Amino acid sequence: MIPGMVFSDNSAENICKIAQPLYDWISRIKSSHKLEGWIIDLRLNTGGNSAPMLLALYDLLGNNEIWGELDENKKSVRKFKLVDGSYIQKSQTIAAITPSGRLLDQERWR
């Protein structure tokens, strides 16, 4: 389960402080168990700042564009992506975690 992330300190340091332990928890599970798949439960998630949530899920999301915004003409105005554990908007790193091991998005499930 991914908890809601409502907090007032939106600094990169605080986002990392919140995201890294969640990421590490997922990393420990992936390295200590032979899993056949993952279920991300968002039913009780109350929302909030998506940056630490997405960083925590970096292993599952991989190096990809993860969301964006469109203007009224449906033209892309902002894109957010994950690259090597960094949460990036345009070329600016918003926050980052320290990833470890092979990304789960590259695993082949049976």
For residue range 7-49, what is the model confidence (pLDDT) as tens digits? 889 999 999 999 999 999 998 988 888 777 888 888 888 999 9
Report the pLDDT value the prediction gives residue 92, as an integer from 0 to 100: 93
Report the pLDDT value the prediction gives residue 110, as an integer from 0 to 100: 43
**In this structure, which amino acid lies at residue 48?**
G
Global pTM value: 0.84
**108 — pLDDT class (breaks 50, 70, 90):** low
Report the pLDDT value the prediction gives residue 22, as an integer from 0 to 100: 92
Judged against a pLDDT cut of 70, whether residue 105 lies above it is answered with no
* Domain boundaries, given as residue ranges, for the chain: 12-101
What are the C-alpha distances in Å from 12 to residues 2, 9, 26, 34, 87?
A: 20, 9, 21, 33, 10
